[in-house]
């Protein structure tokens, strides 16, 4: 059970992954947390996030977080997407922060700032 007393320990990716793994293990869900299943679940949760915005105009989509009900839905889906992504990374052995940093570095090389004289070729 979660202890509601104040905890000053900073939240970390590794800590969240451990908590998610413990949650799944306590419910005997680990057997279902294969890379394939977690990737599929991640896709489903991302689609549920898209669904919130599906028929909104661009202007309406920019105001979604102003409404407490829709903001709560967005936050829940973001949490679901992140939870499945972190579980997927844990299972396949990917450090999500290192992967993101490497991808940003590749993109900075691939897509230089305008006006730097580098071509896209």
Query: What letter would DSSP give residue 6?
Result: -
| Cα gap 98→86, rounded to integer Å | 13
Q: Model-level pTM?
A: 0.85
CATH (residue range 14-109): 1.10.287.1080
**Degrees, nearest 5: CA angle 93-48-60:** 125
| Cα gap 60→41, rounded to integer Å | 28
| pLDDT, tens digit (0-9, with 9 covering 90-100), for 39-80 | 999 999 999 999 999 999 999 999 999 999 999 999 999 999
């Amino acid at each position: 059970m979660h202890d509601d007393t104040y905890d000053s320990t900073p939240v970390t990716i590794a800590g969240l992954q451990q908590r998610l793994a413990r949650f799944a293990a306590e419910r005997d869900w680990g057997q279902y947390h294969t890379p394939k299943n977690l990737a599929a679940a991640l896709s489903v949760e991302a689609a549920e996030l898209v669904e919130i915005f599906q028929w909104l105009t661009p202007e309406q989509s920019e105001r979604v977080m102003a409404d407490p009900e829709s903001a709560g839905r967005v936050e829940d889906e973001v949490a679901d997407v992140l939870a499945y992504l972190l579980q997927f990374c844990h299972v396949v052995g990917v450090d999500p922060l290192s992967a993101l940093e490497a991808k940003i570095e590749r993109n900075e090389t691939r897509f230089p700032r305008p006006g730097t004289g580098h071509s896209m070729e």
